[in-house]
Amino acid sequence: MSPRILWADDEIELLRPHILFLESKGYEVTSVSNGSDAIDKVKSEPFEMVILDEQMPGMGGLETLAEINRLTPELPVVMITKSEEERIMEEALGRKISDYLTKPVNPSQVLLTCKRILDRNRLQSRTISQDYLQSFNKITSALTDRLGHEEWVDLYRELVRFDLDLDGDDGVRQILEDQYREANRVFGKYVEDSYENWIADGRADDRPTMSQEIVAERVFPLLGKGKPVVFFVIDCMRYDQWLMFEQLLFPLFEITTSFYYSLLPTATPYSRNAIFSGMLPSQMAKKYPKLWAEGEEDEHSRNRDEELLLTDLLKRSRVDARLKYEKIIGSADGREFAQNVHSFTQFDLSAVVVNFVDILAHSRSDSAVLKEIAPDEKAYRALTRTWFEHSWLFQALQTLRAADATIVLTTDHGAIRSLHPTKVIGDRQTSTALRYKYGRNLKCDKRHAIFVRDPEKYGLPVTSLNTNYIIAKEDYYFVYPTNYNQYSNKYRDSLQHGGASLEEMILPFVQLKAK
């Protein structure tokens, strides 16, 4: 069906060549010569777009625009005027017009405006689909090479961009999802082959920056420059979710984004404690044995001492800085933080842990309503963006911007939609997480997990004799043989973390500078 355009101009007969040109390009154009008739047409007929002359006798263009906005707020309106007066332009733009053209206009100019407004999504979708299909072979070829850690970051960013931009072409999207899964399969093998060397040689050039290094290497150097540093760790925030936040922050900040790799397992007790302590989990367990042992039954309890860990890291690094630490779990805590965030600028370094994104991920797994609202990656991203846009966190960042604070923002790990179950065998003392487990004599399909038989080589603590770890690859999750089908179905398509995937391991590290 041809897109329908309403064109209102008191000199409409002089514009007949323009109308015929648009009709030759597949548009259906209805013309009127005044604002009152335009309003009547909008009331009685459906249109996809209105072209409106600003200077008409009787009901003028701006008055007509105001009435159209009242009747159909989402109907795109293009204003055409002979006047170049800035006041008129500002008033029209203030009423949310879609475009503003100055006479004389030529047919091609009007056509371009119509295509931009009416056909942009379709044209962009087609172009992006073509771009991805042209990139498909390049990405496939890259996956057969031995990529380094920086090349994996580049490939992941490319896949995320296509994932965000592809829309409306289910066939191409399915190809992308298949290639994404293949990329995670190869990435899991890369991590399995490389990880022991990363841990053994902490200063090698061919290894990525990892969780235990980012505070010393990327946060501490910002101190002592006359500005307070506020360091946010948003639990369980993936790179694609950060891009949703970035869209809202871009008008306010100059944004510098780099990347680092989460250590394994990509779970809060390991990765976030490593951030604040500057240590591997095995080193933490030795230096703070009571802290680690107290958390054996409840892994989340291992994150009760992050302030202590960061304080010790400052002392070991001989960094003299007044520290403020805050962990924000509920919305009430968040609102209170936003109201008092100016007080954080009195400290040299403030570390703020934000738990909401992690809570959202787990809530989606447990709530049928949230699964209905966010059934796929695109909807989950949109849900996260909606939260951030109206959140205390967005408000607090704007307050810190006004205070000219140095803002640093990152995450401890990402999450992946767990779509494929794999059987695991372990004793009653085996840990309960779905994407990683530690215990004695664990067994599962070797294709689906990294087996850590010597935890020390992975920088992991040994809790008892014969302790080993298994870490899920791709989008697998562990299920015991007992009631296998029941638990497979229960946890299928839940957002989980702890494993070795692009989404969980390759993480953004962001610095925000006020524009």
The full 3-state SS of 168-232, as one line of letters, equals CCHHHHHHHHHHHHHHHHHHHHHHHHHHHHHHHCCCCCCCCCEHHHHHHHHHHHHCCCCCCEEEE
The phi and psi torsions of 438 (rounded to 5 degrees) equal -130, 145
pLDDT-derived band of residue 296, with 50, 70 and 90 as boundaries?
very low
Q: Name, in order, each residue with C-beta under 8 angstroms of 308's C-beta and a sequence gap of 6 or more.
A: none
pLDDT-derived band of residue 304, with 50, 70 and 90 as boundaries?
confident
Nearest to 442 by CA among 461, 465, 423, 426: 426
Residues shown for the chain: 515
- Measured between alpha carbons, how far is 258 from 176 in angstroms, rounded to an integer? 25
Q: Name, in order, each residue with C-beta under 8 angstroms of 296's C-beta and a sequence gap of 6 or more.
A: 463
The predicted pLDDT at position 511 comes to 97
Nearest to 16 by CA among 27, 29, 3, 2: 29
pLDDT digits (tens, 9 = 90+) for 352-388: 999 999 989 888 878 888 888 888 888 999 999 999 9
pLDDT-derived band of residue 297, with 50, 70 and 90 as boundaries?
very low
Verify cis geometry, omega within 30 degrees of 0, for the bond prior to 104.
yes
Write out the two tokens for 369.
């309503």
Best mean pLDDT range from 135-139, 226-230, 303-307: 226-230
Q: Name, in order, each residue with C-beta under 8 angstroms of 25's C-beta and a sequence gap of 6 or more.
A: 111, 114
pLDDT digits (tens, 9 = 90+) for 167-190: 767 788 899 899 999 999 999 999
The answer to whether 417 and 181 are in contact (CB under 8 A) is no
pLDDT over 70 for what percent of the chain? 93
Burial class (CB in 10 A: 0-12, 13-18, 19+), 148: middle
- Measured between alpha carbons, how far is 351 from 309 in angstroms, rounded to an integer? 12
The 3-state DSSP class for residue 33 equals coil
Nearest to 149 by CA among 187, 185, 183: 187
Whether the predicted pLDDT of 100 surpasses 90: no
pLDDT digits (tens, 9 = 90+) for 192-221: 999 999 999 766 668 999 999 999 999 999
pLDDT digits (tens, 9 = 90+) for 157-168: 999 999 988 876
- Measured between alpha carbons, how far is 78 from 52 in angstroms, rounded to an integer? 6
Q: Mean pLDDT throughout 39-63?
A: 90
Whether the predicted pLDDT of 114 surpasses 90: no
Write out the two tokens for 62.
């701006």
pLDDT digits (tens, 9 = 90+) for 229-284: 999 999 999 999 999 999 999 999 999 999 999 999 999 999 999 999 999 999 99
Largest Cα–Cα separation, the chain: 91
The 3-state DSSP class for residue 263 equals coil
Whether the predicted pLDDT of 394 surpasses 90: yes
- Measured between alpha carbons, how far is 350 from 95 in angstroms, rounded to an integer? 42
pLDDT digits (tens, 9 = 90+) for 257-270: 999 999 999 999 99
Angstrom CA distances, 239 to 156, 158, 308, stand at 9, 12, 28
pLDDT digits (tens, 9 = 90+) for 402-447: 999 999 999 999 999 999 999 999 888 888 899 999 988 899 999 9
Tell me what percent of the chain is helix, strand and coil, each rounded to the nearest 5: 50, 20, 30
Q: Name, in order, each residue with C-beta under 8 angstroms of 507's C-beta and a sequence gap of 6 or more.
A: 239, 259, 260, 261, 262, 410, 411, 412, 413, 414
- Measured between alpha carbons, how far is 319 from 225 in angstroms, rounded to an integer? 13
Whether the predicted pLDDT of 295 surpasses 70: no
| CA-only gyration radius of the chain, Å | 28
pLDDT-derived band of residue 45, with 50, 70 and 90 as boundaries?
very high
